[in-house]
Structure 1
Amino acid sequence: MTVTSPDTTAVGGRPVVPSRGKLRPLGQDEVRITGGFWRERQDVNAARTIPHARSWMDRLGWTGAFTAPDAASADRRGREFTDSEVYKLLEAMSWEAGRGVGAPDALEAQIAELTTAIAAAQAADGYLHTAFGRAGQRARYSDLAWGHELYCTGHLLQAAVAKARTGGDGADPLLAVARRAADHVCEAFGPDDAPGVCGHPEIELGLVELFRLTGERRYLDQAALFVERRGHRTLPPHHFGWSYFSDDQPVRQSAVLHGHAVRALYLAAGAVDVAVETGDDDLLRTVAAQFDRALARRTYLTGGMGSRHSDEAFGDDFVLPADRAYSETCAGVAAIMLAWRLLLATGDGRYGEVVERILYNVVATAIADDGRSFFYAHTLHQRTPTAALPRDEEQLGFGGGPRAPWFEVSCCLPNAARLLAGLSCYLVTVDDTGLRLHQYVDSEISTHLDDGREVGLRVRTGLPDNGVVTVRVTKTDGRPWSITLRVPQWAAGAELVTTRGRRRVSSGDIVVYRAFAVGEEIRLELPTRPRFTAPDPRIDATRGCVAVERGPLVYCAEALGDDDLDTLRVDDTVPPVDVEAGVEVRARFDAPGPDGWPYGSPGAATADPRPTTPLTLVPYHRWARRGPSTMRVWLPTT
């Protein structure tokens, strides 16, 4: 693997800074999103989503739990993991302040306020959790399966690293809290102490990144110890099985991601971090193989992961029911975290395509246009109409239905918020010879290559609506270097236009290497014409159906009125076409069968002389934004 330099600067930080790998990530000071689809969502995130999350956490007492006196600790409000939501909010605020857009000083003031409260709640030995260990509460680490104490600490460490890398320094107060908490974890769970693991992986990620920031080796060693302790069934039995806690099988012995989707993905990401920093290439290959198999057999068309509501888990291979898709927003964020780490470690550009799919079809779908309501789960078939929810009511249910302003378990909103705030860090990397563009977003890039040369690019694109990408060189020194572009699998017929002419290019990485001139442009033309997509025949739930995609977007049929989407049939012999409101297909609505016994002779229930008529589909990320509706992604054929 190519050696890369650790992050030694306080500003312009990156969420992930591996000490080695095929690719070096760029930070917020090097890549700035300037417009288009994702800049709009970043701005909504800053202006509405982050304040919305803060107001709910204040209202419900989640932030106040850090300042509650011991006498009132037994009356603490919220679930045992709500500390983590405050930490994720702090991380989102830190990345947002690092963007330098809007009112970063106001965010810094909020960060300082919350840090003061958190520091005051920390015990003398570094332990920090508001639901355990105080008067009237259960003892520390008395419920490792469900207590989420180490999980919360992991999010604290990630928040502190974000703050230190976006304007803080080695003396940052939040970093001081995080180091004391990490030191406590190492003392309590080190090699000669309790052999426990947390029921929800996350501490591994935080410990490795804190090691990368501080150079403190014990943090990496403790993360590696947690990874190796996994899978030995040290946690109590549970009716969902040990797989729910990622404790049924050692990481090195698993063939595929399984069990609770978010837990499995966080653990896999932490294992990649450990593998990279310890030079354990066998572990890295093992996790990559697990993820690849999950992508091939256990992932929805949208990139969503998790097909079981009961235990929020991956199903078996090819068990992907559309109407019971769980596909939690947090699982989408976690899958991006894992794919990004594998991309940096291996240089394999197909992981960039995974990130793209999840961004456009899970993350973009999750949050409402006003930034103040969100999906927890992402069904691919809504059978009953959604309904407007009260704007001031916390929701208890997670799956199905409309976007909600808040859930009793609201892990997904701050998770999406921290990803969106730091999104510029997931677009571009440096390799041995130049820059690699993984996501096409309107942006300005100014950085240095590994040999110290300064280079710069300006990227403009109409994606996801228009597939033209223009890359303009803004800084160079006359010596040759490379610009690597990713041609997605969906872009059949793509063409590359440079000063040397036009040529057809196939999917994969396209390298343009030469001595560029300032002002020189490269244009990549990615066809975004709509297309039918067929499922693998082993997916029983979607056999006999097709879906429609256009560019990176998945489309869906949405009914705002009386149309019964369960009777919909699409003519897949007529190609889908672009229309102003979306994508048009030819379809019909069969007459519903008679009430009574729902079985009969083959073909009798589908016989219908009606002709097909045009039906307009909308991007999946736009569904449930126009009012109560039903929806389906997979469309039965005529």
Structure 2
Amino acid sequence: MTFTTDRALRTTVAPAVPSTGRLRPLGLDEVRITGGYWAGRQRVNAAATLPHIEHWLEREGWLPNFDLAAAGTLPEGRRGREFSDSEVYKFLEAAAWQLGRDDDPALEERFRSVVARVVAAQEADGYLNTNFGRPGQGERWSDLEWGHELYCAGHLFQAAVARVRTRPDAGDGLLGVATRFADLICDVFGADGIRSVCGHAEVETALVELGRVTGEARYIEQARLFVERRGTGVLRDIEWGRSYYQDDIPVREAEVLRGHAVRANYLASGAVDVATETGDAGLLGALERQWANTVARRTYLTGGQGSHHQDEAFGDDFELPPDRAYSETCAGVASVQFSWRMLLARGGSGYADLVERTLFNVVATSPSADGTAFYYANTLHRRTPGEPADPDTVSPRAESSLRAPWFEVTCCPPNVARTLASLDSYLATASDDGVQLQQFAPARVATALTDGQEVELTVTTAYPSDGRVEVVVGRDASAPWTLSLRVPDWAAGATLTVDGETTEVAPGYAEVRRAFRAGDTVVLDLPVAPRFVRADPRIDAVRGSVAVQRGPVVQALESVDLPDGWPDVADVVVDTAVAPRDEDGRVVVRLCRRRVADAGWPYGAGAPVEAEAAVDVPLVAYHDWAERGPSTMRVWIPES
């Protein structure tokens, strides 16, 4: 891998590249994950997940839809939901980021083949959608509430941005397709056009990124118009209310994220992009408030968001039932995007803390170990053993009780794929003063500071299995600069060792400022020992229960680990007088089996309860649950 540090000769190779902000991201050309947990996930993503997605896109007809469009035979033969085009674009984005990480001639050839089919389907005026605009189909822009035309366009734009940033001289036509469609959207939805928005936010952040990569201010202005129109009642009311697609309250006036969790986070991401590019401090302040309130009141321990199944939505404040957690994988991906943009705009370790929590406990939980099956929703309590999914059958959206190969609504697999393929760009940031390590993995970092100094770092760690993070500086500095290492909010008692001197550091950032010399070593030790976690007492559903977290990784009790004769995770309580501990690579807690006699009426004086002798039982990392067959599972365990 070659790192280029001449800022004048390159564009940052990352999904979000704001022109201003407290921090700038370090892209795939500056940061490389070299080992550890996330490198393993990325290998599986490249070798198994991307081919898996491409196979299903072809098999289910979503790629062939573009061939039908090019041939002029639609709507006959079209397959998939109204938003199926977007899955093709997300696959292209994921493939583009992967090609930015590693040269792969076979993947490059497949990428170009798919792009050629997309290019052929575009209409003369730039419009591109396989579900609207032809005889026998709905008219263009006739169903903004549910049609997803602009949503699909947004994912097309993001695929084009990824391609330009990773292969600027590709010449495959994808950027031209995107800009022609974006020009049409600006014509149709501009200040004098249709004064409405898409029911599923996404195009906002995509238009800003397209504007950033092309230098076309018109795209950013269109994104601003979409953000300003949201919440003014431009979409039809529905049974769940306009809050479902955030059209109930203007973005500037909202106090917390609400409605459909994916849409809310995508809208917030786009609004941050608009605010940073236009210098809108008021809008950015509103988003800062919404992020803080959502994290404090409407986010699961895992970082998951959304407790309503019927509308895939946030619940009210502190409405976070574990057994009814929807916690859609795509909401996790969108939350990471929102938090990351806030981090770049504002700085602050809390944003990176939530990114870490969500990556390890939502994004990493969705795909199976082999990368060919996925969770759409991520419950925190499974009451009945799941049913294995047929590896050759499409599953209903959230009804698969174990990871499934494909869904009727298949947003999650390609969303996971594009996140993992671009994950290197979420590890580190830079400022005028230095470099900040936001996430921890074995990695190489090479960048240039604003003053032209070249910085090289080698990060060695077994995190999150071990809390030791060693950073070795690779170049002499001509002037002092600051190396900052994030200390997570859970890491009370962390220490920093420099030149053999160890000091305790508080959550936030541990900073070392000096004129570094090659070979200088900084070691951050994070206390990743397992610990009990209790919830805010206003979360009614888990009152009287505890969870276990080891470092950033939430643990779960799975029925396959219970002693013989203990049938279910519902029948246990945890002895919190005995601290959880590491043993043979697992976290172990002391449990008692609880026997409760049935009564004729469950609201009397209380059914008799008997507790059997305590037994030490291993937990499993939540992101690894359900890899050993059908089971019951719970994250929150009642206290004895």
Short-chain TM bin: over 0.9
Secondary structure of the residue aligned to 1:470 is: strand
Q: Which residue of 1 aligns with 2:73?
A: 71
Is 1:452 the counterpart of 2:452? The answer is yes
Equivalent residue letter for 1:329: T
Q: Which residue of 2 aligns with 1:366?
A: 366
Render the CA deviation track for 1:392-445: whole Å, top value 9, x for unaligned.
000014146100011011101100100100000001111121110000111001
Q: Per-residue deviation at 1:246?
A: 1.3
Say whether the 8 Å CA contact 1:565–1:589 is kept in structure 2: no
Is 1:599 the counterpart of 2:596? The answer is no
Identify which of 608, 631, 634 aligns with 1:632: 634
Change (3 A) 1:344 1:413: same
Change (3 A) 1:229 1:636: same
Say whether the 8 Å CA contact 2:592–2:611 is kept in structure 1: no
Say whether the 8 Å CA contact 1:10–1:166 is kept in structure 2: no
Q: Per-residue deviation at 1:10?
A: 6.0
Q: Per-residue deviation at 1:107?
A: 1.7
Q: Per-residue deviation at 1:6?
A: 13
Say whether the 8 Å CA contact 1:7–1:212 is kept in structure 2: no
Q: Which residue of 2 aligns with 1:293?
A: 293
Q: Which residue of 1 aligns with 2:615?
A: 613
Say whether the 8 Å CA contact 1:473–1:518 is kept in structure 2: yes
Q: Which residue of 2 aligns with 1:555?
A: 555
Q: Which residue of 2 aligns with 1:575?
A: 579
The within-5 A match list for 1:210-221 is: 210-221=210-221
Say whether the 8 Å CA contact 2:389–2:400 is kept in structure 1: no
The separation in 2 between residues aligned to 1:86 and 1:400, in whole angstroms, is 23
Render the CA deviation track for 1:467-525: whole Å, top value 9, x for unaligned.
00000011233432111011112222111111151111111111100011111111111
Say whether the 8 Å CA contact 1:456–1:476 is kept in structure 2: no
Say whether the 8 Å CA contact 1:438–1:485 is kept in structure 2: yes
The separation in 2 between residues aligned to 1:228 and 1:547, in whole angstroms, is 41
Total equivalences in the alignment: 630
Q: Which residue of 2 aligns with 1:19?
A: 19
Q: Which residue of 1 aligns with 2:174?
A: 174
Q: Which residue of 2 aligns with 1:148?
A: 148
Q: Per-residue deviation at 1:74?
A: 3.3
Q: Which residue of 2 aligns with 1:391?
A: 391
Render the CA deviation track for 1:219-239: whole Å, top value 9, x for unaligned.
011000000110112212211
Q: Which residue of 2 aligns with 1:129?
A: 129
Secondary structure of the residue aligned to 1:67 is: helix
Say whether the 8 Å CA contact 2:388–2:401 is kept in structure 1: no
Equivalent residue letter for 1:462: A
Equivalent residue letter for 2:581: V
Q: Which residue of 2 aligns with 1:482?
A: 482
The separation in 2 between residues aligned to 1:11 and 1:233, in whole angstroms, is 39
Q: Per-residue deviation at 1:308?
A: 0.5
Is 1:538 the counterpart of 2:538? The answer is yes
Equivalent residue letter for 1:86: V
Q: Per-residue deviation at 1:264?
A: 0.4
Q: Which residue of 1 aligns with 2:228?
A: 228
Change (3 A) 1:134 1:500: same
* Larger displacement relative to structure 2 (35-44 or 570-579): 570-579
Say whether the 8 Å CA contact 2:453–2:478 is kept in structure 1: no
Please provide the CA RMSD for this pair. Answer: 1.6
Render the CA deviation track for 1:530-579: whole Å, top value 9, x for unaligned.
10000000000000000001111100100027522112111112111111
The within-5 A match list for 1:71-150 is: 71-100=73-102, 104-150=104-150
Say whether the 8 Å CA contact 1:9–1:165 is kept in structure 2: no
The separation in 1 between residues aligned to 2:628 and 2:611, in whole angstroms, is 32
The separation in 1 between residues aligned to 2:7 and 2:121, in whole angstroms, is 30
Q: Per-residue deviation at 1:31?
A: 0.5
Secondary structure of the residue aligned to 1:73 is: coil
Q: Which residue of 1 aligns with 2:267?
A: 267
* Larger displacement relative to structure 2 (57-66 or 239-248): 239-248
Tell me which stretches of 4 or more aligned residues in structure 1 moved more than 3 Å. Answer: 5-12, 169-172
Render the CA deviation track for 1:445-475: whole Å, top value 9, x for unaligned.
1110011111100001111111000000112
The separation in 2 between residues aligned to 1:74 and 1:203, in whole angstroms, is 28
The separation in 2 between residues aligned to 1:393 and 1:595, in whole angstroms, is 43
Say whether the 8 Å CA contact 2:205–2:266 is kept in structure 1: yes
TM-score, normalised with respect to structure 1: 0.96
The separation in 2 between residues aligned to 1:260 and 1:121, in whole angstroms, is 31
The separation in 1 between residues aligned to 2:79 and 2:161, in whole angstroms, is 27
Change (3 A) 1:340 1:6: farther
Secondary structure of the residue aligned to 2:509 is: strand
Q: Which residue of 1 aligns with 2:593?
A: 589
The separation in 1 between residues aligned to 2:591 and 2:373, in whole angstroms, is 32
The separation in 2 between residues aligned to 1:6 and 1:351, in whole angstroms, is 29
Equivalent residue letter for 2:573: R
The separation in 2 between residues aligned to 1:399 and 1:520, in whole angstroms, is 53
Q: Per-residue deviation at 1:9?
A: 5.7
Secondary structure of the residue aligned to 1:181 is: helix
The separation in 2 between residues aligned to 1:552 and 1:331, in whole angstroms, is 19
Q: Per-residue deviation at 1:13?
A: 1.1
The within-5 A match list for 1:375-524 is: 375-399=375-399, 401-499=401-499, 501-524=501-524
Say whether the 8 Å CA contact 1:382–1:400 is kept in structure 2: no
The separation in 2 between residues aligned to 1:196 and 1:170, in whole angstroms, is 35
Say whether the 8 Å CA contact 1:66–1:121 is kept in structure 2: yes
Secondary structure of the residue aligned to 1:629 is: coil
Q: Which residue of 2 aligns with 1:190?
A: 190
Secondary structure of the residue aligned to 1:373 is: coil
Say whether the 8 Å CA contact 2:349–2:488 is kept in structure 1: no
Q: Per-residue deviation at 1:11?
A: 6.7
Render the CA deviation track for 1:329-384: whole Å, top value 9, x for unaligned.
00000000000000000011211111110011111111001000000000000001
Equivalent residue letter for 1:623: W
The separation in 1 between residues aligned to 2:23 and 2:542, in whole angstroms, is 38
Secondary structure of the residue aligned to 1:608 is: strand
Equivalent residue letter for 1:566: A
Say whether the 8 Å CA contact 2:141–2:149 is kept in structure 1: yes
Q: Which residue of 2 aligns with 1:528?
A: 528
Secondary structure of the residue aligned to 2:76 is: helix
Q: Per-residue deviation at 1:70?
A: 2.5
Say whether the 8 Å CA contact 2:387–2:400 is kept in structure 1: no
Change (3 A) 1:6 1:472: closer
Equivalent residue letter for 1:582: R
Structure 1 unmatched runs, 5+: none
Equivalent residue letter for 1:494: A
Structure 2 unmatched runs, 5+: none
* Larger displacement relative to structure 2 (149-158 or 612-621): 612-621
Give the fraction of aligned pairs with identical amino acids, expressed as a percent: 53
The separation in 1 between residues aligned to 2:399 and 2:603, in whole angstroms, is 29
* Larger displacement relative to structure 2 (297-306 or 515-524): 515-524
Q: Per-residue deviation at 1:168?
A: 2.3
Render the CA deviation track for 1:27-73: whole Å, top value 9, x for unaligned.
11110110000000000000000100000000001011111133342
